[in-house]
Chain A
């Protein structure tokens, strides 16, 4: 186990380096902060001057040496946009996104298992139909629209929750719910179909025939076998949320998370901040992947960690 984790960490490091390199090149080839950040009326000379001030007029190899030094010392320089260390911005915004992911996706993960399993007990029954229809609605509703709808209902009409912002648990409810619903729908439908499949397997019939009680079969075998694909999907939900999928929720609810910050950094061509964000997110994703592998092993001891 220890060796496995070490090896995966090593591989992860390569991934992080690769991703950072891509960002380094892409931002310098396609972006020009001097153009986007100065007022539209700035002259060509003023733009050139600004480029010189922020050091982007130096040869690419020289900038690359700086960049590698930054990576090694974990110092990503000063954000052009925020005028403070880029890592400071990242560490300020990351907890907000994590809070959103843990509460929103945590809620979805905890609810999807029982919901899907209950629906699967009687395929075609009333509970099942409600679940499937609800799931399809959840899957096909644009998150942006869903967020505004929840704001209209709970904040404008009922006035029981704030429309946007951060600061108290009340502020967290609507964004977390908006983030949770599409994931909840996806995961519930997956659990449902997996459990239905499992319950139709021969081994379930055998177990039942030899007198094993139904809920032992359900919890001990069918659900347990469902857990592997379920965790794969749940992991994917977490990873895509980390990789910026939360941005829609964050902008609708003015939630100061990392996804929103990344978009703003891209709009402003703030390459130093973006490098710091991508680096951090890449590390987080590598860690989540390692965690997932360990959980697999825990659920199904036959899986070899290689």
Chain B
């Protein structure tokens, strides 16, 4: 008993010592992200944790406004097309990296060449397919060359971070990044936190928040607790059901579209009536309301993100008509036939719940649904296996470049990505659009493609999810469409 008393006294003592834990300095914020950056090399990996930090240290030639409009960043103006394979960028004057190296045409050339260098093993090369090199014209003019006409090049340059030409060769570059951005690294304590401080000499003016600390918290429940306890100012990926529990939340239309790819060539699903039935059997509004607490919108009949170039404004979500779906299944003689529905669990928000709900709608329409939920690696094998297409496969497309080319190549182009059709006319159009540099013509091609895929029920687009952030009472911030955590856009009110 005496020992117990001693323990209790100890606990109380411990409590009183530990009290001043949540003392913030004004103008300093703490951001909790889901994973620790693997490296702070901005060109090596495709890693959300790394981006969350480096988006504040590094900048790109092109940038986006909060609602997704492409605008010049380190470039002084929109690039101009010199010929089919060359884009020319004029650069802003008088910018330098925080280690004193100037930002100029040499820096752009070095950045492009570095990311293309096989020695870097860059996972981001997937975003830069087609870029062959860069050439300095004069100190503030640079040309970027491609292996064919590339209308998306300006969007690609919104993804390529500019690195200092000399220092980026240093082996410590991945630990101690140096960019042109509004923040610079103060400390990278592996496993613990990353601290950035404002770059007082930033060309766009010093940011309002002096210091930002990143903490790495994988568990969503723990992130939530930290926000409620006052330890964090911003937490990412707040679950819809927790919105009521946080001091403030901020939402924005996200980059992700969930969808199910329907095979146009398999035994049961090759009948257009069956695919139409599968589409109109789904009550998307109910999915958005029940699974996402309303933080999502029924997808408007296409894989393209509503904020992206190539989005077809004319399309509306597939209607919900369970009676007609049943009737179509009857007419097609598909009642009781088995549909294989391939998916995974845990990679995307509410993925398994979505898959099972959709399967249930199909079952109500008269199909026999066989769920095949796989481990992520195995799932990817099935998703990309162009020889054997599943009847139906769930996937979430994230449209980072906000341009229709990549999602279309993945979802519509026959024989590529996770598409499940053999529509050669559509294939020709997607490929033509890829090299069509006339903006209006390119948009027209995309509208034809999305319309045809809508009519043919090649996909069953489900929801455009919203990104939800938990925010502390004192922080003012409107999240961005591209999901970047740009600290210079945040403000502390106290």
Contact = CB atoms under 8 A, between A and B. Distances in A.
Interface in B398-454: 398, 400, 406-407, 409-410, 416-417
B18 A41 contact: no
Interface residues of A, number: 51
A41 B406 CA distance: 7
A132 to B, nearest CB: 17
Nearest to B171: A84
B216 A159 contact: no
B384 interface: yes
A50 B38 contact: no
Interface of B: 14-15, 18-19, 21-22, 35-36, 38-39, 41, 44-46, 118, 121, 123, 125-127, 129, 174, 189-193, 215-219, 221-222, 225-226, 228-231, 376-377, 380-381, 384, 395, 397-398, 400, 406-407, 409-410, 416-417
A256 B191 contact: yes
A25 interface: no
Given A41-B406, A84-B174, A163 B126 contact: no
B15 A83 contact: no
A53 B193 contact: no
B126 A41 contact: yes
A22 interface: no
Contacts of B44: 83
A266 B233 CA distance: 31
Contacts of A93: 191
A269 B377 contact: yes
B231 A162 contact: yes
B15 A43 contact: no
A151 B228 CA distance: 11
Nearest to B230: A159
Given A31-B377, A37-B45, A167-B193, 5 more contacts: A39-B123, A46-B129, A82-B38, A159-B22, A267-B376
Contacts of B397: 40-41
A164 interface: yes
Contacts of A81: 38, 45
Contact of A39 (B127, B193, B225): B127
A139 B222 CA distance: 23
A166 interface: yes
Contacts of A293: none
A27 to B, nearest CB: 11
B469 to A, nearest CB: 18
Given A83-B45, A163-B229, A38 B174 contact: no
B18 A160 contact: yes
B190 A92 contact: yes
Contact of B229 (A38, A50, A155): A155
Contact of B380 (A35, A49, A170, A267): A35
A269 B378 CA distance: 12
B371 to A, nearest CB: 21
A286 interface: no
9 contacts: A35-B380, A36-B376, A37-B123, A38-B126, A41-B417, A83-B39, A84-B39, A152-B225, A160-B15
Interface in A165-183: 165-167, 170, 173
Contacts of A253: 222
A156 B193 contact: no
Question: 3 smallest A-B Cβ distances: which pairs?
Answer: A256-B191, A42-B126, A160-B15
Contact of B121 (A39, A53, A160, A269): A53
A44 interface: yes
Nearest to B189: A167
Contacts of A233: none
Q: Which of B22, B121, B400 has the most CB of A within 10 A?
A: B121
Contacts of A152: 225
- Interface-central residue, A37, A44, A83, A267, by most chain B CB under 10 Å: A83
A254 B232 CA distance: 14
